[in-house]
Amino acid sequence: MGRMVLAALGEREEVATLTAAVERPGHDAVGREAAPGIVIGSDIDAALLLCDVVIDFTTPESTAATVAACAERGVAAIVGTTGLSDADRAALARAAERVPVVWGANYSVGVNLLATLVEQAARSLGLDWDLEIVEAHHRGKRDAPSGTALALAEAGARGRDVKLREVARTMRSGDVGPRPRGEIGIVAQRGGDVVGEHTVTFFGDGERIELVHRATSRAIFARGAVGAALWAVGRPPGLYSPTDALDIGRG
């Protein structure tokens, strides 16, 4: 994703300039050039002195520390890290009291529009329609279900005005009994080099509705993150979503 973000920045060089690149201490990339004249370092505090906004696609542990440093320096943060714990999310919320923070599992325009449609459909169809989400990713992805699948499930829960943690089912095995009314099922598939596929199905009696998004390039996530970075600079402190930053669902 770092390389993809660099490429996306190159597409927007008339409005955005790379000023620093950071990797964890000891990483092989430290000391190399990320771009002409930009050497990859390992000191986030030094990097923050040079920029208006940070784009972070790393690990939960690194993200929490980076966003806290952004808050100290008054720098906006764009976070695409998935697998965040409740404590990590709380760290983002604290930082958002001081700087604009955009956090989302997916910065694709299509996925964020899909989430808007899922919420609308869940609100319109109600509990009489069963809601299931199936996601597929490459064999190397570590977290499951994907952050995007969980975000889509959250959208469905919002549409139904329920708490996802009270209705989510991420695994079925053995005699699980009849499907409870209002349950939201989430299934993860892993294999090959799949960039990302998400299918949201509403099952009714005698009919069903399927909403599908297929990503064929990771470049879409990087372009969305760069777009969110341009949007975030100058915004008031707050915790925003990619849907906010990409201006989706307001037409």
List active site positions. 137, 141
Interatomic CA distance for residues 133 and 41, integer angstroms: 40
**Two structure tokens written together for 140:** 């190397």
* Measured distance CA(151)–CA(111) in Å, rounded: 10
Pull the structure tokens for residue 247. Answer: 């201006």
H or E stretch at 134? strand 130-137
Report d(CA 58, CA 240) in Å as an integer.
19
Distance in angstroms (rounded) separating the CA atoms of residues 116 and 65: 31
SS (H, E, C) 148-211: HHHHHHHHHHHHHCCCHHHHEECCCCCCCCCCCCCCEEEEEEECCCCCEEEEEEEECCCCEEEE
Please count the CA atoms within 13 angstroms of the CA of 143 that sit on its side-chain side: 13
Tokens (6 digits) for 58: 């790393």
